[in-house]
Structure 1
Amino acid sequence: MSRVPPSLSSPDALVPVRALDFVMYNTKDMHGTRAFYQKLFGFQPGEEWEDFWSEFATAPLTLCLNDGTSRQGDPKWDWHGAACVALAVDDVPSAIAQCREHGVTILIEPVETRVCWMAWIADPAGNRLCLHSRKNGTAG
């Protein structure tokens, strides 16, 4: 998929958002939760990383499951609570720099994976947002 959607943001946005990339739910039972979505809705598996992260092929928006308990010992990966949405941005480190400059709480600094860059911030109510950029240039 090589489509590049137009920006969702106004032209004067500090951090322009191209699209919503994924929604992430947390689980303490990756196998059971993954089986629920596969059996009940017939969702097909997407990318998976150990028992920590599981995606479903639910284009245009990806549904992800995360088991922060598999990364015990590192509190920054202890992701329990409400769902999280990923906002597609062009450059995650630059977006984080803008956030820092404007006093936004940075939860997780930019992390590079084999397929993307991502970082987490909090809105004023404490909701987590992922700033996300796929290496293949797609969004949404």
Structure 2
Amino acid sequence: MPSPFVWFDNMTETRHDTTHFLHAMFGWQSKDIGPITFLTADGADTPFAATCDTLEGISGWVPYIEVDDLPTAIVQAKRHGATIIAENVKGPAGDASFIRDPGGSAMALWKRAEGV
């Protein structure tokens, strides 16, 4: 796997304002699909990130890190001192579990859905 970072969410209480800022600042195009707003770089076909509402007190940029086995990754995260925020959140392209590392940074461990 070239990079384990596969997605980024910007979690915010003011999704519309954040989306507008990112468009004005970087020219990123947006597509609101209800609970999230996809962000696409100018001229690209596929989104690389999204703005969405906060989750369990998480705000700001949250990287999604692809793992081969989500349940095993959660066990390892706990063993190494992570706090589990939310487990097995279903998404259109796979499942994610949100954790906070021992330093307090949030991230999502993500397992790609079959066939995606």
TM-score w.r.t. length of structure 2: 0.73
Q: Which runs of 5+ in 2 are unaligned?
A: none
**CA deviation string 1:87-109 (max 9, x = no partner):** 11122222112223444321111
Cα root mean square deviation, aligned: 2.8
Indicate the structure (1 or 2) with the bigger Cα radius of gyration.
1
Q: Say which SS state the counterpart of residue 90 (structure 1) adopts.
A: coil
**1:2-25 C-alpha deviation (Å, 9 max, x unpaired):** xxx34xxxxxxxxxxx52112322
C-alpha offsets along residues 109-130 of structure 1, whole Å, 9 cap, x if unaligned?
1222232110011111111111
- Is residue 2:9 matched to residue 1:31? no
Alpha-carbon distance, 1:133 to partner = 2.3
Residues 50-106 of structure 1, C-alpha deviations (whole Å, 9 max, x = no match): 2x32221247982321212xxxxxxxx333444322111122222112223444321
Q: Identity of aligned pairs, percent?
A: 27
Q: What are the ranges of 5 or more consecutive residues in structure 1 without an aligned counterpart?
A: 7-17, 69-76
How many residue pairs end up in the alignment? 113
Q: Conserved in 2, the CA contact under 8 Å of 1:23 and 1:61?
A: no
Question: Which residues of 2 match residues 14-93 of structure 1 at below 5 A?
Answer: 18-45=3-30, 48-50=32-34, 52-58=35-41, 62-68=48-54, 77-93=55-71
